[in-house]
Structure 1
Amino acid sequence: MIETPVENPRHQALRQALARVRQQVAQLEAALDEPYRQFTGSAVWVGPAARRFGEELSRQRQRLRTQAAKVIRELEEELGRTPEKVSPAVAQEQSRRFG
């Protein structure tokens, strides 16, 4: 008897996690946008210390974006490696693990 494949709970869990992470990443990235815009858009603070602060803010903003993209990329890759459909037995075992 051939079993009809069913939805893979692990695939579903990864898809949901990816959606949550994308939403949170968007919020994290936006968190530094306004301070960066304000700092670089007008002379709110000038001098060598201000320049160093601005450079560090820019580096940290870029680092956050790079790391966030890495997390999303890794989740996308794992999702791509995870079959959407599996046998009922595998689905049951995955369901216990990823509920």
Structure 2
Amino acid sequence: MAERMVPSPRYERLRQLLIEAEDRAHEVRQAYQRASSAMRSGQVWTGPTATTWTNELEERRRSLGRLAQRVVDAVEEELRRSPPLVTEAEADAMRREMAGRT
């Protein structure tokens, strides 16, 4: 007789992690938006140094956004590889592993 299938603890943890990663990625993409907009307005600081500084700020903002998206993509990929249902024995083993008791 086949063992009963139950929700995978690993899958559920990855789903939670994905939600958190997406939230943090959104925050990162918005992190320097106000400062960048203020600098671009020409009312905060002007001149060649200000332009250089603003360009660097915007590049770092874009870079952080790309890195945050890579984290989201990695969690999504791992979630796709994980079955949502596993046997009870597999679920128990996953819980032990997640608790550091392998």
* Structure-2 residue corresponding to 1:92: 92
AA aligned opposite 2:53: F
Runs of 4+ in 1 over 3 A off after TM superposition: none
**Within-5 A mapping of 1:1-99:** 1-99=1-99
Contact 1:13–1:98 (Cα < 8 Å) also in 2: no
With normalisation by structure 2, the TM-score equals 0.89
Q: State the secondary structure of the residue aligned to 2:73.
A: helix
Report percent identity of matched pairs. 31
What is the root-mean-square deviation of aligned Cα atoms in Å?
1.2
Q: Which has the higher helix share?
A: 1
AA aligned opposite 1:63: S
Higher relative contact order (CA 8 A, sep 6+): 1
- How far 1:66 sits from its partner (Å)? 0.5
Summarize deviations over 1:18-73 as a string: whole Å, max 9, x none.
Answer: 11121122222222111111111233211111111011011001001110111100
Q: State the secondary structure of the residue aligned to 1:44.
A: coil
AA aligned opposite 1:98: M
- Gap runs ≥5 in structure 2: none
Contact 1:8–1:84 (Cα < 8 Å) also in 2: yes
Number of positions where the alignment pairs a residue of Structure 1 with one of Structure 2 = 99
